[in-house]
Structure 1
Amino acid sequence: MTRSTALRRVGLVVLGVNLVLVLAKGAIWYVTGSLAVGSEAVNSLADTVYSVVIVAGLYLTTRPPDFEHPHGHERIEPFVSLFVALGIFAAGAAVIWQAISSVLADSVAVTHNPAAVGVLAFAAVAKYLLYRYCLAVGTDHRSPAVVATALDNRNDILTALAAMGGVIGAVLGFPLLDPIAAAVVGVGILYTGVEVVRDNLDYLVGAAPPEDLRAEIVRRALSHPDVEGAHDVIAHYVGPEIDVSLHVEVEGDRTLTEAHDIESAVIQSIERLPEVDDAFVHVDPKEAGEWKPDEEVDRLVGGPNRDPDRDP
């Protein structure tokens, strides 16, 4: 299955499940008046709204490259994720406000309807399945928007269980547990928003990828038999993908064609890493006096990346 098909399918599945959940929770809320169930209905409503955004965003990000976007549209994804986070923050704040207001107004409703527990249990199971599905697809296809959706679904499991605990506690004679559970749900929603923002900041500010990936990039460059060393290795996120630039050091007696072949081979080796979009390699001949030590490269490979006796 292609990346575009897989991601678009995720968006539609998440939208469908969230729509079913908001209708089910809303109906039970209307019948029982449980604040915990109501907070979960608001949570699912927010999920449904941002699912529409996800579907639209994933459609945009999976379009093929064009003249105005020669590298494709994947770099839109972190912005889609931040839009998701805004919706999550709004939903969390609304739920907490509603819980506090009900306590201050002394209008806590207690329900003995088993349907309230049933719908929350169903929601927890559905969200667990969505979490596993979204996480698998988002990880396999390196989609920050889908991974953000997975994290939201993971926290929805906890909020559904918290709401269930509040409903059961209220039935057992502790009515304040219902709004307390609703407030816990709200805090969980807010935490999800923080997590989504944190996970996407690296994509937006061009941060370096994880160290093990940087080390693998250097190892691939040094694995070429004609490369004597490397320096000035820069790897950074451009959207969810990684661009790499580096200098490789070769003996100066190579012909222009041989130098070109070395450069091409190193580029192809690095770009075979699924996380890397583009690699840019500059060939430095020894006689040009451009070989130089690079402590960061040495640290990544666990020792000198070039035989010290061969330094110019």
Structure 2
Amino acid sequence: MSRRTTVRRVGLLVLVANLLLVVAKGAVWWSTGSLAVGSEAVNSLADVAYSAVVLAGLYLTTRPPDFSHPHGHERIEPFVSLFVAVGVFAAGGAVLWRSTTTVLSGDVAVTASPAAVVVLAGTAVVKFGLYRYCLSVSDETRSPAVKATALDNRNDILTAGAALVGVLGGFFGFPILDPLAAGVVSVGILYTGWEIVQDNVDYLVGSAPPDDLRADIVRRALVHPEVKGAHDVVAHYVGPEIDVSLHIEVEGDRTLWEAHDIETAVVESIRSIDEVDDVFVHIDPKELGEWKADDSVDNLVSERQ
């Protein structure tokens, strides 16, 4: 199955699942008045909104390259993920406000209901399945939007558990646990938003990839028998993919054909790394005096070894 089909299927599946959860939680909230279940309904409603955005975003990002976007549209994904984060922050803030005002006012009215227990336990089961599925797809496709969705589903398992504590509090005569649990749910929602932002900022600001990946890039350049050294190695994120540029050092008596073959071999070797998109290699002849040491390259190679 192609990457395009896989990530679009994830978006549609998550949207449908969240729609069903909103209906179930909303019905229980309406009949019981449980603030914990209500906060979970709000959380799922926010999930529906971001799922719709993610589905639309994944449709855009998986379109093939065109004249305006010759490298494809994958670089839109971090923006989609940050939009998800904004929605998550808004939902978390709303739930926190309501739970705080309820606790301070002391106006707590909860109807203990087995239906609330069932819907929250079912939510945890559904969200665990979605988390594992989305995480597997994100590892396979390196999609930041799908990973953001996986993190949100993981956190929903914990928030559903917290809401369940609040509902059970009504059964055992401690209704105050309901708004307190809603507060815990809100903190979990806000933390998920922070995680999503953290994961995507590097993609947007062009940060360098991890050292082990940079070391692998250098190693693939130096393993060629005609390459005597490398310097000015620059690897950075452009969206979820990595662009690489570097200078390699070869003997100056190589013919143009030989230099071209060396460059092509190095480019193809580095480009075969899954995370890498574009590779630019500049060849330096020794005789021009551009041969120089590069401490960062030496450190990466020594750490790799």
Structure 2 counterpart of 1:268, which letter?
A: E
Distance 1:63 1:303, change over 3 A: closer
Structure 1 counterpart of 2:91, which letter?
A: A
Following the alignment from structure 1 to structure 2, what is the Cα–Cα distance between the partners of residues 51 and 303? 41
- Deviation string 1:269-303 (CA, Å, 9 cap, x unpaired) is 00000100000000111111111000110011108
- Deviation string 1:3-32 (CA, Å, 9 cap, x unpaired) is 110010000000010001010000000111
Q: Determine helix, strand or coil for the equivalent of 1:280.
A: strand
Greater shift, 111-120 or 71-80, is seen at 111-120
Following the alignment from structure 1 to structure 2, what is the Cα–Cα distance between the partners of residues 172 and 33? 17
Match of 2:299 in 1: 299
Match of 2:286 in 1: 286
Match of 1:145 in 2: 145
- 1:25-36 alignment runs, 5 A limit: 25-36=25-36
Following the alignment from structure 1 to structure 2, what is the Cα–Cα distance between the partners of residues 304 and 125? 41
Following the alignment from structure 1 to structure 2, what is the Cα–Cα distance between the partners of residues 256 and 49? 56
Following the alignment from structure 2 to structure 1, what is the Cα–Cα distance between the partners of residues 22 and 242? 38
Match of 1:112 in 2: 112
User: TM-score by structure 2 length?
Assistant: 0.98
**Displacement of 1:228:** 0.6
Runs of 4+ in structure 1 displaced over 6 angstroms? none
Following the alignment from structure 1 to structure 2, what is the Cα–Cα distance between the partners of residues 134 and 9? 10
Match of 1:65 in 2: 65
**Displacement of 1:105:** 3.3
Match of 2:125 in 1: 125
Structure 1 counterpart of 2:214, which letter?
A: R
Match of 1:44 in 2: 44
- Deviation string 1:24-74 (CA, Å, 9 cap, x unpaired) is 000000111111000000000000011000000000000000000001000
Structure 1 counterpart of 2:246, which letter?
A: L
Match of 1:235 in 2: 235
Distance 1:304 1:131, change over 3 A: closer
User: TM-score by structure 1 length?
Assistant: 0.96
Structure 2 counterpart of 1:66, which letter?
A: D
Match of 2:96 in 1: 96
**Displacement of 1:101:** 2.2
Distance 1:179 1:28, change over 3 A: same
Structure 2 counterpart of 1:127, which letter?
A: K
Q: Determine helix, strand or coil for the equivalent of 1:108.
A: coil
Is residue 298–residue 304 contact of structure 1 (8 Å, CA) maintained in 2? Answer: no
Structure 2 counterpart of 1:238, which letter?
A: V
Q: Determine helix, strand or coil for the equivalent of 1:39.
A: helix
Q: Determine helix, strand or coil for the equivalent of 2:107.
A: coil
Q: Determine helix, strand or coil for the equivalent of 1:233.
A: strand
Match of 1:253 in 2: 253
**Displacement of 1:170:** 2.5
Match of 2:270 in 1: 270
Following the alignment from structure 1 to structure 2, what is the Cα–Cα distance between the partners of residues 128 and 236? 33
Following the alignment from structure 1 to structure 2, what is the Cα–Cα distance between the partners of residues 239 and 201? 10
Structure 2 gaps, min length 5: none
Q: Determine helix, strand or coil for the equivalent of 2:123.
A: helix
Structure 2 counterpart of 1:296, which letter?
A: S
Following the alignment from structure 1 to structure 2, what is the Cα–Cα distance between the partners of residues 259 and 40? 62
Following the alignment from structure 1 to structure 2, what is the Cα–Cα distance between the partners of residues 112 and 207? 51
Match of 1:308 in 2: none
Structure 2 counterpart of 1:285, which letter?
A: P
Following the alignment from structure 1 to structure 2, what is the Cα–Cα distance between the partners of residues 105 and 176? 11
Number of positions where the alignment pairs a residue of Structure 1 with one of Structure 2: 305
Is residue 212–residue 304 contact of structure 2 (8 Å, CA) maintained in 1? Answer: no
Match of 1:208 in 2: 208
- 1:154-173 alignment runs, 5 A limit: 154-173=154-173
**Displacement of 1:304:** 12
Identity %: 72
Q: Determine helix, strand or coil for the equivalent of 2:70.
A: coil
Following the alignment from structure 2 to structure 1, what is the Cα–Cα distance between the partners of residues 107 and 11? 38
Match of 1:56 in 2: 56
Is residue 110–residue 171 contact of structure 1 (8 Å, CA) maintained in 2? Answer: no
**Displacement of 1:113:** 1.1
Following the alignment from structure 2 to structure 1, what is the Cα–Cα distance between the partners of residues 263 and 159? 53
Is residue 103–residue 180 contact of structure 2 (8 Å, CA) maintained in 1? Answer: no
Structure 2 counterpart of 1:231, which letter?
A: H
